[in-house]
Chains A and B, each alone.
Chain A
Amino acid sequence: MPLTLTLREPPTVPLETEGLSPDRLATRRRGEIEALTVWHGNRRAQLADFFAVSGNGGEELRVEGDLRRVKFLGAGMTDGRLTVAGDAGMHTGADMRGGELVVEGDVGDFAGVNMHGGRLVVEGSAGHQLGGAHPGERAGMRGGEILVHGDAGDQVGTGLRRGLIAVAGRVGDAAGLRMLAGTIVALGGLGAPPGAAMRRGTIVAMSHVTLLPTFAFACSYRPPFLRLYLRHLRALGLPLTDDQIEGRYARWCGDGLELRRGEILILEAGR
């Protein structure tokens, strides 16, 4: 049985658990883990005040319970595997650098914010600012992959610099805001207006999108790289059809107020 932390009852105010990641817990003894610092609101507390610890260390960590008010799960993790059985709170996987973090339910806002590497899988839906930037930072996510099987909120991939964000459901408004590079794939629709102030990078949509007037039509083609990306996503379990993988895409360049080196690719129907 992997090392398992079970939240006894939901905290009254958010509980911040920065540093609770499999790589950091792997080598620690039970007593050390129970004594780790967590912040309950503005009060310092110990992990054991809120969680029951069971199982053994190793490269796998499982967290259970109603974790909607638990923030920063897996923040800064560099290796190993963290499974959240159920919903997780804000900042899940923030500043992540490696390993795999799987949330079996929904995640709150700012999931995967400033991520540098590794893979964040959300089997439910994600909140706002998925793979975004910390407040004040120019650049957001800089590497790694985020896969969401449900929907995602607004401002997905704000300031994205590198990496891949793929959402099976619907993506909210202002996706790819100020993005610098990287890729966002929205399989279930994309809110308006995507790619505002984007400089480089790619946003992929599978249905009609309302674009800003600062995006210009370039061509209609079958981007070779996209096939590789989409096959990769299908292998990871996202529901991609052959039509999407092999289809023709309209390429729109923008944002014209910035460099105009970014692109929004929209699947063309019936081809």
Chain B
Amino acid sequence: MLRIAQGRVYDPANGVDGDVRDVCLNGGKVVEELPSHAPRIDARGMIVMPGGVDIHSHIAGPKVNAARKLAPEEHRADPLDRTAIMRSGTGGTVPSTFTTGYRYALLGYTTVVDAATPPLAARHTLAELRDTPIVDAAFLVLMGNNLPMFELIRDAGPDGAGPVTEAVAWWLEATGGYGVKLVNPGGVEMWKHGNRNVTSLDDEVEGLGVTPRRVLEAIATSVDELGLPHPVHVHCNNLGVAGNWRTTLDTLDTLQGRRAHLAHLQFHAYGGTPGKRPRSRAPELAEHLDAHPEHSADVGQVMFGPATTITADAPVSARLREITGGKWVNADLEAETGCGIVPFAYRERNYVHALQWAIGLELFLLSRDPWRVVLSTDHPNGGSFLSYPRLIRLLMDREFRNEQIDRVNQKAIRRTVLRDRLEREYTLGEIAIITRAGPARLLGLADKGHLGVGADADVTVYGEHEDREQMFATPRYVIKGGRVIVEDGELREAPAGDLLRVEADHDEAIERTLRPLFEEHYSVQFANYPVREPWLLEPARRIPARRDGSGR
């Protein structure tokens, strides 16, 4: 039992905007009332919000681990000693598993979604999530460059998804995943055919009879048919290419009428012509999103300083490597996807980097519906999750933002509308939407991101501070599942978090279709492929899909 007494509560999902009231927690849930003798936290003068929810991050699995191995110099610079509560570990842009859990919690985040796991690597991701304490975690399963899936999509024809729908549900069950991720659908497979890519939604994936558009349509239809809690999560084609905003719009048009979430929209909002200097097309994309309530996005803000680009979009990594001339991992996950990793640094004076930074801010400031344009840095691609507090300050503090705008490459700023008319300052209520309520709603996590009766007892209490960066960097209290995890900015205990996985039924008959495809394409026996190990899958909270369509 715990009463968080008399704080200013921001719970936008329940229409609470800074009202002074008590939040009562019991049995890991928010409850209506508690007896007066219940232990209490005196939150007078403090800000109370639900625990943070990160909709798009990279925290586990072989790609993250490869990024760790690639950067021993980061570990030397940021070692963590063991304490009575914490295990030892390393920080940097890609922290070790335990450190990832501790640092997310110390930032007031209690739920994190790893946005890209190849199904073959599900065991690895699950094992690392087990070692990522405190936060509840889910992962999205990559399906956009999967050879058996391509065959199913090709044979399904333009109408109904049929076997594709069953296969999507089968794959989620086989991996313990939460939702479906598409990364540069078709393009990664083309890259594996020898340094090629797709450049439009109608380019055929050579020899496979599908196009990016067909893949998008089939998978998005399947996800909707299954009524998965989270819509299809799309990393569009042509990431980072000047002029790619047309591809992004085309993707949104293709998915019209179906639910879809676009990942790291900033990286897909560039005007200009390929090979030339990009410019901003954020206003056009923000407008389009506003008009389509079935679509949403996270921003993928770039923050100046060190980053590590980790992506299944291997051809993008190859281009980044040409820029840095440094370390690079390029991997092939047989029938499923590719992977690229390049350490990177964003610099204020660099035209492209400054433009990327500015486009992210434009997307935030132009979006009229904070519920559908939510915060991310695509950790660690645009910057570490540790930079969220600074990003929040950029959104909340116009004066600070204008100072920062003056520091960066001015040619880039002139290619945006930041200077002209973006006087907006986010309110605390809006910050609560883009960092917890919005992501939780988009993920379909009914118990997360709000403080209504029955919600999970995940609460963050911030000390009121004029400097919003400082305020959001060091919460006074973080409560997870009703337990006080952080007190006065220090970790008090580090219990395990839950695995969040979806529960979507499938027709067992799909296995008869999949088995021969596996034998043709995979090095792994079909029977050995699904994750069954209880220590990886349990305990887990299962979030049901609503196949009757009521999930929308």
Chain A residues within CB distance 8 Å of chain B? 134-138
Contact = CB atoms under 8 A, between A and B. Distances in A.
B72 interface: yes
Contacts of A136: 70-74, 76, 327
Nearest to B69: A136
14 contacts: A134-B72, A134-B73, A134-B76, A135-B72, A135-B73, A136-B70, A136-B71, A136-B72, A136-B73, A136-B74, A136-B76, A136-B327, A137-B73, A138-B326
Main secondary structure of the interface of B (DSSP, over half): helix
Contacts of A134: 72-73, 76
A215 to B, nearest CB: 20
B357 to A, nearest CB: 25
B203 to A, nearest CB: 33
Contacts of B71: 136
A91 B73 CA distance: 16
B454 to A, nearest CB: 47
A138 B72 CA distance: 11
Interface string B64-98: 00000011111010000000000000000000000
Interface of B: 70-74, 76, 326-327
Contacts of B72: 134-136
Contacts of B76: 134, 136
Contacts of B327: 136
Contacts of B70: 136
A90 to B, nearest CB: 15
Rank and list the top 5 A-B pairs by shortest CB-CB distance, nearest first: A136-B73, A136-B72, A135-B72, A137-B73, A136-B71
Given A134-B73, A135-B72, A136-B71, 11 more contacts: A134-B72, A134-B76, A135-B73, A136-B70, A136-B72, A136-B73, A136-B74, A136-B76, A136-B327, A137-B73, A138-B326
Contacts of B73: 134-137
Contacts of B326: 138
Nearest to A133: B73
B529 to A, nearest CB: 35
A186 B24 CA distance: 74
Nearest to A44: B81
Contacts of A137: 73
B87 to A, nearest CB: 13
A138 B74 CA distance: 12
A137 B326 CA distance: 10
A162 B451 CA distance: 59
A134 B70 CA distance: 13
Contacts of A135: 72-73
A258 to B, nearest CB: 9
A135 B70 CA distance: 10
A152 B71 CA distance: 27
A76 to B, nearest CB: 13
A92 to B, nearest CB: 18
A138 B71 CA distance: 11
Among the interface residues A134, A136, A137, A138, which one has the most CB atoms of the partner chain B within 10 A?
A: A136
B345 to A, nearest CB: 12
A229 B327 CA distance: 34
B78 to A, nearest CB: 13
A186 B71 CA distance: 32
B56 to A, nearest CB: 27
B80 to A, nearest CB: 14
B74 to A, nearest CB: 7
A138 B326 CA distance: 8
A13 B327 CA distance: 33
